[in-house]
Amino acid sequence: MGAPTGAEPPEVVRAGIAQRLSRMIQLPTVSAERADRGQAPFDAFADLLVELYPLAHDHLERERIGDLGILYRWRGRVPEQPTVLMAHFDVVPVDESDAWTHPPFAGRIEDGWVFGRGALDDKGPLVVVMDAVENLLAAGFTPARDVYLSFGGDEETFGGAARVIAETLRDRGVEPWLVLDEGGAVVNAPLPFVRGRAAMVGVGEKGVLTLRLTARGEGGHASAPPARTAVRRIARAVERLSPGTFRARTPAAVTRMLELFATRAEGIPRRLYRLLAATPWLTSRVFTAMGGEPAALVRTTIAATMQSGGTAANVLPSQASATLNLRIALGDSVPSTVKRVRRRIADRHVEIEVLEGDGPSPESSTENAQFALIADAVKVSHPDAATVPYVMMAATDSRHFHRFSPAVYRFAPLAMSRAQRASIHGVDERVEIAALERGELFHRTLLQRLE
């Protein structure tokens, strides 16, 4: 029999979490290179979970959803209103010219750290979920309600594994009470003049949209170019899409974030944060003027990421194109964003093609039992950190759940310095072993306190 609902069993914490993460990192589950590497690393990862977590595979129901989805069901005392814990096990490619301190797929453990691609994004967050489940099973614990573990293998390529898992659960009549995926982290001094640490919980996320602009023109020798070439049309179109293309708006989560940060600042900074929290219109203007991440919190961003056209230095290309990556702010949509881009370009000779697009998620509440549960678990695992909502600027697999779940949040319970956050998708990605242990404690506490 499991522990009674609401009770917390004795701590049974298995050693070796760093070694388990190291084993995971050693499998190069690079979804962008799956065509070259094949399916083998992804299947090997699924098999590795069976080896590393024997109790979970004895007690939980496990099924493969397509080639890249893994879904576990841990039956609780009641099946209604389950919790879904999410992570992904694919990683981004490594530039071979980058100078890593340790080989990116070696999973080196050194001086209290685990190094390697995926240590933070997202195998580290996955291992703390699985370790928490294994430790609770070892203590004879049964959750108060069903718990699903949803792991996808193509998040980094905006693939469909998580979408299919979400659709599968929806078709089965499963309506999650809480969905928790990667996203925010435990950070130091999250804004200027703010003291202490904060557990940043994403209560919403921006949408993602990829557009291709294409223009045609007269080809021929470059010695006698026409006034308007295909390349010039594309260059002009990109230039017209300035940072101010989209109107700035302050989401409710940003206002709440500023209110909480005001309590952790002093003097003039405290008054400034209070002023911004009370005047969302001013916040949008100030954040826009700051540029970078602050500006991205309050408006749709647009960036030209790829351009092509031409076959030789002295030949005019008959066609040129540019690829744009947009992150759609809360309150906008894919159709409205495309319409705005078309109006700003104002050139009927430039074709706009939608390659992929997902709208932004709605904001989940910070005044409900789900957010309170997350905050309670943070108090146990990171007692010096305030739980603070924010809007996530990147896309996560959880976006597929918000259509039928009332409470979707994005938080990886790992402490990350600014340098560590910069290493995500970069060089020398690494996680502290102590951070993994606290992350496991967060998930263990959250599962214990489900009611």
pLDDT tens, 31-77?
999 999 999 999 999 999 999 999 999 999 999 999 999 999 999 99
In whole angstroms, what is the distance from residue 375 CA to residue 385 CA?
A: 9
The structure tokens 């759940």 sit at 401
**Cβ atoms within 10 Å, residue 330:** 24
| CATH code, 108 | 3.40.630.10
Confidence (pLDDT) at 3? 40
Which of 339, 358, 377 is the last residue in one of the domains?
A: 358
Q: E strands within 89-229?
A: 109-110, 113-115, 145-152, 178-188, 197-205, 207-216, 220-221
Confidence (pLDDT) at 2? 37
Confidence (pLDDT) at 4? 41
In whole angstroms, what is the distance from residue 77 CA to residue 147 CA?
A: 10
Say if CB 412 and CB 437 are below 8 A apart.
Answer: no
In the numeric block, which tokens belong to residue 297? 């919190």
Confidence (pLDDT) at 226? 82
In whole angstroms, what is the distance from residue 374 CA to residue 450 CA?
A: 10
pLDDT tens, 44-56?
999 999 999 999 9
**Cβ atoms within 10 Å, residue 349:** 13
Are 279 and 381 members of one domain? no
pLDDT means per 10 residues in the chain (451 residues)? 47 92 98 96 98 98 97 97 98 94 97 98 98 97 97 93 97 97 92 88 95 88 79 94 93 93 90 95 94 90 91 87 95 95 95 94 95 98 96 91 93 95 95 98 98 90
Domain that holds residue 379: 17-205+361-448
Are 318 and 380 members of one domain? no
- Provide the number of structural domains found in the chain: 2
The structure tokens 């309590």 sit at 263
Are 238 and 375 members of one domain? no
Query: Is 4 inside any structural domain?
Result: no
With residue 307 as reference, give the H or E element that holds it: strand 301-309
Query: Is 152 inside any structural domain?
Result: yes
